């Protein structure tokens, strides 16, 4: 009887979804908003959420563990740990690289970490929050990524790590940078939040570094509403991340599980008395950055569609790229050589002599309901938050400044249709040609 009621509710949930979808209007140019990003949620997603809620699986549990296993496999690393955001994943990656068991390798306050100036703030914030010194390098226009030579030029005896994002889904030259890190004994953290299933030299991004991180916020390739993930191939680093995510505890029992190690009352660690409950022994100064099974249930449902999502992003990007080729005043994006990006958005920089300002173009697009975004923070050191931050700049940040002033992006997420793309192309051309 209970199961019948549940089935009925789930069937009604599907019906609700279909009814809502049937009531949605088709695309009307200039009227229907074209969002730069958004979640694409189908009836399976809605049903997965409702089912998990009906079971009242409200904390992190079996669904989270299952997602971690499947997602690690999808990316091609041994371990994935869910977090409550991509920012939390970056925080955990950096925090865990300071863990005492890493000995001489551990990051310590004052160490330098090379990163890019034109980026998302929470790729860099964990460095500042841990007393590390970000060393900002510039990026190229068109790829919006940095280069090996800029990283090499930024090295000093204090350099201990490189941490940066595959910008807008476009891989940075990660194989070469990973090799440099190995040669120099540096950690590499790939912020893969915007680039799930991109490849570089045929290998999936997020598998080159010591850690990689992912965001499951609705703008991203997969969504859980809020959520994120830290991935690693190292069992040692995975263990540290898990502990730091879960309050810093030494114990590795799953939630609700006791005595997995069969020695629960037989440890003596720190200055604690022998036999102190392992559940309450803390070997790291940790956080609680876990996610919930309700979020994970959505993630599991979304994961079955990841290949289609990435294909749609690539298709949309390509249609924009071809449609906008040769339009005056625009610097169009390019894939990093050797890569197959998993695009987050379509980035456009206006040429210096375009004859119009970014604000004018963005306003015009908005008047046609075409949404735009800036390339995140632009040159981060121009943001008010970093006025008193301790950092170093290596070389000039010319392109990061250009990005701050003349760059914006439009959507390629799977909710954008070919019809919408054609309307975006037509609108941009009309504006640029009229103003050039
Ligand atoms: C490159 C990059 N890193 C980190 C994040 C943070 O992810 P979250 O919003 O899940 O905290 C984002 C968010 O968009 C991002 O684009």
Q: What string of DSSP letters covers 148-205?
A: HHHHHHH--TTEEEEEEE-GGGPPPSHHHHHHHHHHHT-EEEEE-TT-TT-EETTEET
Tell how far the Cα of 227 is from the centroid of ligand 1, in angstroms: 10
Tell how far the Cα of 214 is from the centroid of ligand 1, in angstroms: 8
Tell how far the Cα of 211 is from the centroid of ligand 1, in angstroms: 15
Residue 49: partners with Cβ closer than 8 Å, 6 or more residues away: 294, 297, 298
Whether residue 408 has its Cβ less than 6 Å from ligand 1: no
Specify the ligand 1 atom closest to the Cα of 227: 10
Tell how far the Cα of 32 is from the centroid of ligand 1, in angstroms: 27
Decide if 213 contacts 190 (C-beta within 8 A): yes
Whether residue 295 has its Cβ less than 6 Å from ligand 1: no
Counting ligand 1 atoms within 8 A of each CB, the residue from 83, 89, 92, 120 with the most, and so the one to mutate, is 120
Pairing of strands 407-411, 345-350: antiparallel
Whether residue 85 has its Cβ less than 6 Å from ligand 1: yes
Q: Cβ of 184: how many Cβ atoms within 10 Å?
A: 12
DSSP letter string, 367-386:
HTTB--B-STTSBGGGSGGG
Using CA atoms, how far apart are residues 266 and 432, in angstroms rounded to an integer?
Answer: 73
Pairing of strands 211-215, 187-191: parallel
Specify the ligand 1 atom closest to the Cα of 167: 1
Q: Please report the beta strands in 173-308, taking only residues with DSSP state E, as ranges in sequence order.
A: 187-191, 199-200, 203-204, 211-215, 228-232
Place of tokens 């009229």: 434
Q: What pLDDT score does 436 carry? A: 65
Specify the ligand 1 atom closest to the Cα of 220: 14
- DSSP three-state, residue 431: helix
Does residue 220 carry a catalytic annotation?
A: yes
Counting ligand 1 atoms within 8 A of each CB, the residue from 84, 125, 217 with the most, and so the one to mutate, is 217
152 Rama class: left (phi>0) / alpha (psi -120 to 50) / beta: alpha
Whether residue 93 has its Cβ less than 6 Å from ligand 1: no
Whether residue 120 has its Cβ less than 6 Å from ligand 1: yes
CA 33 from centroid of its chain's CA atoms: 25
Tell how far the Cα of 216 is from the centroid of ligand 1, in angstroms: 9
Whether residue 122 has its Cβ less than 6 Å from ligand 1: yes
- DSSP three-state, residue 336: coil
DSSP letter string, 34-100:
B-SS-----HHHHHHHHHHHHTT--SSSHHHHHHHHHHHHHHT-SEEEEES-HHHHHHHHHHHTT-G
Q: What's the pLDDT tens digit per position in 72-92?
A: 999 999 999 999 999 999 999
Tell how far the Cα of 9 is from the centroid of ligand 1, in angstroms: 35
Closest C-alpha to 148, from 175, 171, 112, 177: 177
Q: Cβ of 334: how many Cβ atoms within 10 Å?
A: 16
Whether residue 291 has its Cβ less than 6 Å from ligand 1: no
Q: Which of 81, 166, 220, 221 is catalytic?
A: 220
Whether residue 190 has its Cβ less than 6 Å from ligand 1: no
Closest C-alpha to 123, from 228, 43, 26, 253: 228
Whether residue 86 has its Cβ less than 6 Å from ligand 1: yes
Q: What pLDDT score does 434 carry? A: 83
Whether residue 215 has its Cβ less than 6 Å from ligand 1: yes
- DSSP three-state, residue 237: helix
| Segments of the chain scoring below 70 in pLDDT | 255, 436
Q: What's the pLDDT tens digit per position in 297-339?
A: 999 999 999 999 999 999 999 999 999 999 999 999 999 999 9
Tell how far the Cα of 401 is from the centroid of ligand 1, in angstroms: 21
Closest C-alpha to 353, from 436, 434, 433: 436
376 Rama class: left (phi>0) / alpha (psi -120 to 50) / beta: left
Specify the ligand 1 atom closest to the Cα of 90: 4
Structure tokens at 148: 């090996």
Using CA atoms, how far apart are residues 151 and 135, in angstroms rounded to an integer?
Answer: 9
Whether residue 228 has its Cβ less than 6 Å from ligand 1: yes
Using CA atoms, how far apart are residues 90 and 122, in angstroms rounded to an integer?
Answer: 7
pTM: 0.97
Q: What pLDDT score does 257 carry? A: 80
Using CA atoms, how far apart are residues 229 and 205, in angstroms rounded to an integer?
Answer: 14
Tell how far the Cα of 230 is from the centroid of ligand 1, in angstroms: 13
């Amino acid at each position: 009887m209970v199961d019948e009621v549940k089935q009925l509710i789930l069937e009604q949930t599907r019906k609700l979804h279909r009814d809502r979808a049937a009531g949605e209007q088709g695309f009307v140019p200039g009227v229907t908003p074209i969002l730069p990003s958004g979640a694409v949620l189908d009836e399976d997603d809605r049903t997965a959420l409702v089912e998990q809620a009906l079971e009242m699986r409200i904390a992190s549990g079996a669904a989270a563990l299952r997602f971690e296993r499947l997602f690690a496999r999808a990316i091609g690393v041994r371990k994935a740990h869910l977090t409550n955001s991509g920012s939390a994943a970056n925080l955990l990656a950096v925090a865990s690289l300071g863990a005492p068991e890493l000995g001489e390798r551990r990051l310590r306050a004052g160490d330098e970490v090379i990163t890019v100036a034109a980026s998302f703030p929470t790729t860099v914030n964990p460095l500042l929050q841990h007393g590390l010194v970000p060393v900002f390098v510039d990026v190229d226009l068109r790829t919006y990524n940095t280069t090996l030579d800029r990283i090499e030029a930024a090295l000093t005896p204090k350099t201990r790590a490189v941490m940066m994002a595959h910008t807008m889904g476009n891989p940075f030259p990660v194989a070469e940078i990973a090799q440099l890190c190995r040669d120099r004994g540096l950690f590499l953290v790939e912020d893969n939040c915007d680039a799930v299933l991109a490849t570089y030299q045929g290998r999936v991004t997020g598998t080159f570094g010591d850690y990689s991180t992912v965001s499951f916020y609705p703008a991203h390739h997969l969504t859980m509403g809020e959520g994120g993930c830290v991935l690693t191939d190292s069992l040692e680093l995975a263990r540290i991340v898990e502990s730091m995510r879960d309050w810093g505890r030494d114990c590795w029992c799953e939630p609700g599980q006791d005595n997995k190690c069969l020695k629960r009352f037989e440890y003596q660690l720190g200055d604690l008395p022998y036999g102190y409950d392992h559940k309450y022994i803390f070997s790291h100064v940790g956080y609680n950055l876990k996610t919930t099974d309700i979020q994970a249930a959505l993630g599991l449902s979304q994961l079955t569609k990841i290949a289609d999502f990435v294909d749609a992003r690539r298709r949309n990007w390509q249609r924009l790229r071809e449609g906008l080729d040769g339009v005056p005043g625009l610097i169009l994006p390019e894939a990093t050589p050797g890569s197959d990006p998993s695009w987050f958005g379509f980035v456009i920089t206006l040429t210096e002599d375009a004859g119009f300002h970014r604000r004018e173009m963005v306003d015009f697009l908005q008047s046609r309901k075409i949404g735009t975004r800036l390339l995140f923070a632009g040159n981060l050191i121009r943001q008010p938050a970093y006025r008193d931050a301790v950092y170093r700049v290596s070389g000039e940040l010319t392109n990061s400044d250009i990005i701050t002033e003349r760059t914006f992006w439009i959507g390629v997420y799977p909710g954008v249709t070919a019809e919408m793309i054609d309307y975006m192309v037509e609108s941009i051309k009309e504006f640029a040609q009229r103003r050039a």
